[in-house]
Amino acid sequence: MANQDVNHGADPREGIIRNYIAGYNAYDLVRMTENLADNMIFENIQAGVVTDSLEGRDAFWEQANSAKDFFSQRKQTITGIRYFENYIEVDIDYVATLAMDLSEEHKQGDQIKLQGRSIFEFNEDGKISVIRDIS
């Protein structure tokens, strides 16, 4: 059952999520990955289709390390949080500026703006075991 708009500041899972996003925004891979389970799963889902999937903290690190070079600036902002027994769902506003040409439509200096949500699941040790980015 969701508990929207309730102060869950004492919920350690929220602090872990905020730390992960702060690490993402600062291009700090250590901070991003310090609370990930070794066997974590990452999925990127667009329009209901899984477009990227990784398993393991090391694979996530490698992907995050290569992806950071695509952007000269990037920022995820939490706009909402919903708490569930086994996961937390976070609404995200995302803004990034491309550091290189990615395609004919996406050129260096272009700004990307997206709204989406991320689902964070946790294991019994309090580590993030699943991240699903949905847009």
CB atoms within 10 A of CB 84: 12
CB 44 within 8 A of CB 51: yes
What top-level class would CATH report for the domain 12-134?
Answer: alpha beta
* Model confidence band, residue 68 (pLDDT cutoffs 50, 70, 90): confident
**Is pTM beyond 0.85 here?**
yes
Strands (E) across 24-125 are located at 36-46, 49-55, 71-83, 87-98, 111-122
Domain boundaries, the chain: 12-134
Q: What's the mean pLDDT when you consider all of the chain?
A: 92
pLDDT tens track for 3-55: 344 444 578 999 999 999 999 999 999 999 999 999 999 999 999 999 999 99
Looking from the CA of 30 toward its CB, the CA atoms found within 13 Å total: 0
**Alpha-carbon span 111 to 21, nearest angstrom:** 19
